[in-house]
């Protein structure tokens, strides 16, 4: 079994469904049951949800399943960060519901079970909270995805502020096309693999819009421009 598997979505809960799928992973309950339970706890379809607050409100008990907070993850720190990889490596037994930055997933007997795949599902993400799950459960381990097992291509590191050629589909904000295939765009971080940050200035409302795009969607120019990208209007 791979040390990373993918939890497949079976319903049309398109966005921010990670809290549902993580619950499905650790309990083995049907996806619709997980949706109903979290909905009764205040979750709205296609909206973010405070899963930490939910577990606190129900005192760590959901139906006949117990969620016990892991109080100290420092033993699993890497470069002063508690990563999924180190946590999973040291927890070869046990079922855990885990949150990272604005995301939820599961670690089942040392296997990371996530609804994300590929570079978005990196095991160096920082753990914010973790709960050990016990009770009448039959964990759903998901499936092995080619996106997680295929050899990862290494790309040239992009410099902060560098102009690159965008190769992907149109990046849209509502009815505005921010970037299309073939456009020159400036990157707002330094990355060889992973997600590249782009920031666009709204032409009417005078604020910036941030987009995160996979590194493979960019091609360096023949004459690499490393000028620093300065924008006093960026909202941090």
Sign, Cα dihedral of 141, 144, 148, 151: positive
Q: Give the distance, in angstroms, between the CA of residue 129 and the centroid of all CA atoms in the same chain.
A: 14
Answer with the residue of higher pLDDT: 192 or 225.
192
Residue 175's pLDDT is what? 79
Confidence of residue 227 (pLDDT cuts 50, 70, 90): very low
pLDDT in tens, 126-184: 899 999 999 999 999 999 988 777 766 778 888 888 999 999 889 887 778 889 999 99
Answer with the residue of higher pLDDT: 81 or 182.
182
With 0.85 as the threshold, say if the pTM is over it: no
Residue 94's pLDDT is what? 96
Provide the percentage of residues in the chain whose pLDDT is more than 90.
Answer: 44
Per the prediction, the chain carries an average pLDDT of 84
Contact 68, 130 (CB under 8 A): no
């Amino acid at each position: 079994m791979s040390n990373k598997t993918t939890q497949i979505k079976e319903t049309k809960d398109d966005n921010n469904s990670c809290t549902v799928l993580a619950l499905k992973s650790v309990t083995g309950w049907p996806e619709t049951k997980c949706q109903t339970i979290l909905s009764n706890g205040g979750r709205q379809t296609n909206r973010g949800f405070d899963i930490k607050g939910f577990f606190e409100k129900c005192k760590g008990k959901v139906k006949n399943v117990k969620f016990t907070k892991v109080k100290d993850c420092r033993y699993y720190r890497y470069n002063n960060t508690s990563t999924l990889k180190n946590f999973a490596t040291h927890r070869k037994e046990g079922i855990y519901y885990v949150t990272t930055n604005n995301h939820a997933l599961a670690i089942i007997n040392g296997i990371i079970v996530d609804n994300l795949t590929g570079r978005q599902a990196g095991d160096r993400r920082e753990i914010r909270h973790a709960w050990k799950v016990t009770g009448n459960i039959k964990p759903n381990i998901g499936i092995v995805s080619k996106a997680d097992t295929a050899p990862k291509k290494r790309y040239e590191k992009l410099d902060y502020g560098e102009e690159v050629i965008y190769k992907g589909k149109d990046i849209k904000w509502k009815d505005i096309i921010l970037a299309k295939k073939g456009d020159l765009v400036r990157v707002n971080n330094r990355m060889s693999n992973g997600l590249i940050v782009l920031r666009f200035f709204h032409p009417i409302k005078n604020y910036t819009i941030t987009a995160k795009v996979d590194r493979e969607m960019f091609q360096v120019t023949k004459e690499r421009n490393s000028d620093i990208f300065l924008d006093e209007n960026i909202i941090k």
